[in-house]
Amino acid sequence: MEALVAEKRRELVENVALLDDQLEKAFSMKKPISATELEEAVRRATITRRFIPLFMGSALKYKVTIELP
């Protein structure tokens, strides 16, 4: 499971780096990307309408899903 999470995070960083110059610079230099840097890059890309984040969930038998921290 950890490998899948790491792969999906890498995909997210790679895709957002294509849209954000600051993150692209760090990504191309193989610098580790912190969660804060990624969050700021997603925010910048979202504000410029170049990226639309989607968060999905499901409820089983009408039980409410909890919000992720």
Residues contacting 10, CB < 8 A, separation 6+: none
Q: In this predicted model, what pLDDT tens digit does every residue of 32-56 receive, in sequence order?
A: 999 999 999 999 999 999 999 887 6
pTM of the model: 0.72
What are the boundaries of each domain within the chain? 1-69
pLDDT the model gives residue 10: 94
- How many helices and strands, by DSSP H and E, does the chain display? 3, 0
pLDDT the model gives residue 17: 94
pLDDT the model gives residue 54: 82
pLDDT the model gives residue 15: 94
**Comparing C-alpha atoms, which of 16, 8, 18, 14 is closest to residue 41?**
16
Confidence bin at 29 (pLDDT 50/70/90)? very high
